[in-house]
Chains A and B, each alone.
Chain A
Amino acid sequence: MSVSSHSDGAAPARRFDAVHALKDVGFTTLIAFGLLLPLVGFLTVTDVRNDLILQTRFPLLFALTASIGISRLVYLMSVSRWLALRAERPVVAARPARFDWSAIAARWFIPFAIGFVIAYPVIVLLVKGREGAVTWVDNFGIQILIYVMLGWGLNIVVGLAGLLDLGYVAFYAVGAYSYALLAKTFGLSFWILLPLAGCLASFWGLLLGFPVLRLRGDYLAIVTLAFGEIIRMVLINWVDLTNGYAGISTIPRPTFFSIPFNANDDGFAARFGLEFFPIYRTVFLYYVILALALLTAFVTVRLRRLPVGRAWEALREDEIACRSLGINTTNTKLTAFAMGAMFAGFAGSFFAARQGFISPESFTFLESATILAIVVLGGMGSQIGVAIAAIVMIGGTEILRQIDFLKQIFGQDFDPTQYRMLLFGLGMVLMMRWRPRGLITRRAPSVFLKERKSIAGDLVKQGHG
């Protein structure tokens, strides 16, 4: 963590001020040393007698401190000077683009992307074969698509209606537990329970949305967080119903028009005269979640053109003006909550059906924060941005799990996945610092005057929460 202490203000641009830079580097190094000294310098371990003892890690401490100091020096010598030089240059009016890349990208990107995700399992099957493709379709395909869908669902609440919801995972949990409990108790099929789980989740969205309607901003965020945690704690403690921490296992899997995916005689492979492979179920699940995710996107796009969608965006822009124009803000907020919750419910029941096992561990606050981070990093309100952010973040996590070369550098004990959330938290902070409007900074307004064109994200308000 480097401290930008002096360079924010008037950094000398033309020549490199060595004394100033050295002072800055010295200061940063000192601060870094102070920050790292207690937690990196000392390690608390439990010894054989079960007592807590201390070990020192001074080489690591000095290495980290030195690397922070050196990075600061490099930053000052390169990036910071470049930024200062750029700031000195006279501002020229934006040149008219000779070749409008964004228009072409916007025209062709979506059809291409949809084509690619539809073809993805086939490509993987061709490349990796039927044995090797399972992890690729499952870890990279299904896992990412679940988060894309959750991101799009939360995008309705946060990006369109401007209501910051930190307890979104509660509705995901409602969907998952609805499917698991109803399927196990009544033996109903996935295809009946999927809409039912969505309805139940959206009912909970209404129920929890109703009391928080008067709240705005940070308060709304904190109350939704509290509701999310309450639901999780009830799931943990209501052991008779939910089996507590142990979770629910052997949840029935979805069937292909009531043909199960197993190795039996009436299974999918036998019916179609194929050799049994687990990949069939994975590919089927992939297409189910793809269809659900595309449904979410399609519904959102269409809703934005309906009065209710316009009301959401009006609410985000200015709640008081919205009320003055006679829009019922109560209903508008509730529909946003219920819509978002419904898609989370779909995703939740799919999640339960895919895993076959659920426990409250899957529905922690961290999960809500992950989904929110996807929406924010992608650029609130931008559906393509949300999808890209989900691919980057969830795919990045999966890649972190797979890479081996870091083990060769840092030794066999090195586990890259434990740094995942560390990088993730740091990413959220850095993103807010340098790109608060997300990866995609253009937004397509739903209402326009003469011509349809995308506008800068800065022009779109984020709502009062």
Chain B
Amino acid sequence: MDYFVQQLINGITLGSIYGLIAIGYTMVYGIIGMVNFAHGDVFMVSAFIALIAFLILTTWLGITSIALALFIVLLVSMLFTALVNWTIERVAYRPLRGSFRLAPLISAIGMSIFLSNFVQVTQGPRNKSVPPMVRGDFTLLSSGGFNVALSYKQLIIWGVTAALLAVFWYLVARTPLGRNMRACEQDQKMAALVGVDVDRTVAMTFVIAAALAAIAGTMYLMNYGVLSFSDGFIPGVKAFTAAVLGGIGSLPGAVVGGLLVGLIETLWSGYVSIDYKDVAAFSVLAITLIFLPQGLFGRPDVEKV
């Protein structure tokens, strides 16, 4: 039981990271109907930006307040990652709108290879490990020598994810930008006819997706403390699994899917086999796509002539 609660806590932490990345996939798919294959690598780039910002703040500027440092790191990482994703959309995806269906996917695969190799070339192929940013934990339950611990960093991850999801939900549901995004999602041509700037809205979607990925990247760095140029691919595919599981195009679905994938992964590695945890995640992806392609909250895809 205690072991189970501990796995649950770890799973929710991992799941909130996946959920944040999954929103990026689901938003982009919803609005322009492409699988943004490079999103996992954008997440990895954001974690590197966060790492560099953190090192500048702590080693050069000597900021000791961890809350302030974390806040600035989040802001910097969101800003620069948004710029990266905005440029990617502009250079690699926008010219392909109206091209054949697989062109954006292939371009995104190219972009994904480019990003991970760019980081490898500029920052080197070795793992980067940072000292833990936040230490300490509480003991929730204690029985028979096994303590269920909830660490402060997990609490921060839960808190930041929840707070930013609230902000994000407000943005999509209550602001003119969110209304434009929902309009473009339903019908781009019609939205353009009633005066919605489709190009700008799509660009903003990429910016927001990148900002959420940057939060996930910072949290990932805080949680694991190790980073390498190849860390984008597997979390990216897992987050995509989350988006599909929740129903691609559905925002609450992405969050629920993220939590589910995180839980499945930790429970699988806790009870079945840690070596096969990625296999479990990939199998969930395959099984969902084959048997439940519309996901938990998605609309079924109607085939038209």
Seen from chain A, the residues whose Cβ lies within 8 Å of a Cβ on chain B are 1-5, 8, 31, 34-35, 37-40, 42-46, 51-54, 164, 166, 211-212, 214-215, 217-219, 221-223, 225-227, 229-230, 233-234, 237, 320, 365-366, 369, 372-373, 376, 418-419, 421-422, 424-429, 431-433, 436, 461-462, 464-465
Q: Is B95 an interface residue (CB 8 A)?
A: yes
Q: Of residues B34, B279, B286, B305, which shows the largest number of chain A Cβ atoms within 10 Å of its Cβ? A: B286
Known: A369-B113, A422-B121. A35 touches B83 (CB 8 A): yes
Q: Is B174 an interface residue (CB 8 A)?
A: no
User: Contacts of B8 on A, CB cut-off 8 Å?
Assistant: none
Q: Which are the 10 A-B pairs with shortest beta-carbon distances?
A: A428-B110, A425-B114, A425-B113, A432-B107, A429-B110, A422-B117, A226-B282, A421-B117, A237-B275, A218-B35
Contact for A54 among B55, B80, B91, B105, CB less than 8 A: B55
Q: How far is the CA of A38 from the CA of B123 in the complex (A)?
A: 10
Q: List 22 A-B contacts (CB under 8 A).
A: A5-B90, A39-B45, A42-B55, A43-B123, A44-B52, A46-B128, A52-B129, A164-B105, A212-B289, A215-B293, A223-B289, A226-B237, A226-B286, A227-B286, A372-B106, A425-B115, A425-B117, A428-B107, A428-B109, A431-B110, A432-B107, A433-B95
When C-beta atoms are compared, the residue in chain B nearest to A221 turns out to be B105
Other than the given A31-B83, A376-B106, 11 more pairs (CB < 8 A) read A38-B53, A54-B59, A214-B290, A223-B289, A229-B282, A365-B233, A369-B113, A425-B115, A428-B107, A433-B96, A462-B100
Q: Is B130 an interface residue (CB 8 A)?
A: yes
Q: How far is the CA of A464 from the CA of B105 in the complex (A)?
A: 12
Q: How far is the CA of A173 from the CA of B117 in the complex (A)?
A: 24
CB distance from A438 to the nearest CB of B (A): 11
CB distance from B96 to the nearest CB of A (A): 6
User: Contacts of B285 on A, CB cut-off 8 Å?
Assistant: 222-223, 226
Known: A38-B80, A432-B96. A52 touches B48 (CB 8 A): no
Known: A222-B240, A226-B285. A3 touches B91 (CB 8 A): yes
Q: Of residues A365, A376, A428, which shows the largest number of chain B Cβ atoms within 10 Å of its Cβ? A: A428
Q: How far is the CA of A438 from the CA of B105 in the complex (A)?
A: 15
When C-beta atoms are compared, the residue in chain A nearest to B107 turns out to be A432
Is there contact, CB below 8 Å, between B109 and A320? no
User: Contacts of A233 on B, CB cut-off 8 Å?
Assistant: 276, 278-279, 282
Is there contact, CB below 8 Å, between B286 and A427? no
Is there contact, CB below 8 Å, between B119 and A422? no
User: Contacts of B289 on A, CB cut-off 8 Å?
Assistant: 212, 215, 219, 222-223, 226
Q: How far is the CA of A321 from the CA of B35 in the complex (A)?
A: 27
Q: How far is the CA of A422 from the CA of B125 in the complex (A)?
A: 14
Is there contact, CB below 8 Å, between B279 and A230? yes
CB distance from B230 to the nearest CB of A (A): 10
CB distance from A422 to the nearest CB of B (A): 4
Is there contact, CB below 8 Å, between A31 and B87? yes
Q: Is B196 an interface residue (CB 8 A)?
A: no
Known: A39-B118, A320-B305. A3 touches B90 (CB 8 A): yes
Q: Is B49 an interface residue (CB 8 A)?
A: yes
User: Contacts of B80 on A, CB cut-off 8 Å?
Assistant: 34, 37-38
Q: Is B84 an interface residue (CB 8 A)?
A: yes
Is there contact, CB below 8 Å, between A52 and B293? no
Is there contact, CB below 8 Å, between B102 and A462? yes
Contact for A4 among B84, B91, B122, CB less than 8 A: B91
Is there contact, CB below 8 Å, between B121 and A418? yes
Interface code B246-283, partner A: CB below 8 Å = 1, 0 otherwise? Answer: 00000000000000000000000000000110110011
User: Contacts of A53 on B, CB cut-off 8 Å?
Assistant: 55, 59
User: Contacts of B35 on A, CB cut-off 8 Å?
Assistant: 218, 221-222
User: Contacts of B103 on A, CB cut-off 8 Å?
Assistant: 432, 436
Is there contact, CB below 8 Å, between A1 and B87? yes
Q: How far is the CA of A39 from the CA of B48 in the complex (A)?
A: 8
Q: Is B132 an interface residue (CB 8 A)?
A: no
Is there contact, CB below 8 Å, between A212 and B118? no
Is there contact, CB below 8 Å, between B83 and A54? no
User: Contacts of B126 on A, CB cut-off 8 Å?
Assistant: 46
Is there contact, CB below 8 Å, between A429 and B286? no
Q: How far is the CA of A227 from the CA of B285 in the complex (A)?
A: 10
Is there contact, CB below 8 Å, between A432 and B106? yes
Interface code B131-163, partner A: CB below 8 Å = 1, 0 otherwise? Answer: 100000000000000000000000000000000
Q: How far is the CA of A134 from the CA of B91 in the complex (A)?
A: 42
User: Contacts of B130 on A, CB cut-off 8 Å?
Assistant: 52
User: Contacts of A211 on B, CB cut-off 8 Å?
Assistant: 286, 290
Known: A39-B48, A39-B122, A418-B121. A369 touches B102 (CB 8 A): no
User: Contacts of A229 on B, CB cut-off 8 Å?
Assistant: 237, 278, 282
User: Contacts of A45 on B, CB cut-off 8 Å?
Assistant: 124
User: Contacts of A433 on B, CB cut-off 8 Å?
Assistant: 92, 95-96, 107
When C-beta atoms are compared, the residue in chain B nearest to A460 turns out to be B100
User: Contacts of B49 on A, CB cut-off 8 Å?
Assistant: 38-39
Known: A52-B55, A421-B113, A462-B101. A320 touches B290 (CB 8 A): no
Q: Is B175 an interface residue (CB 8 A)?
A: no
User: Contacts of B96 on A, CB cut-off 8 Å?
Assistant: 432-433, 436
User: Contacts of A237 on B, CB cut-off 8 Å?
Assistant: 275-276, 279
User: Contacts of B276 on A, CB cut-off 8 Å?
Assistant: 233, 237
Is there contact, CB below 8 Å, between A219 and B303? no
Q: How far is the CA of A218 from the CA of B126 in the complex (A)?
A: 33
Is there contact, CB below 8 Å, between A366 and B240? no
User: Contacts of B100 on A, CB cut-off 8 Å?
Assistant: 436, 461-462
Known: A3-B91, A4-B90, A433-B96. A54 touches B52 (CB 8 A): yes
User: Contacts of B215 on A, CB cut-off 8 Å?
Assistant: none
CB distance from A101 to the nearest CB of B (A): 27
Q: Is B186 an interface residue (CB 8 A)?
A: no
User: Contacts of A52 on B, CB cut-off 8 Å?
Assistant: 51, 55, 128-130
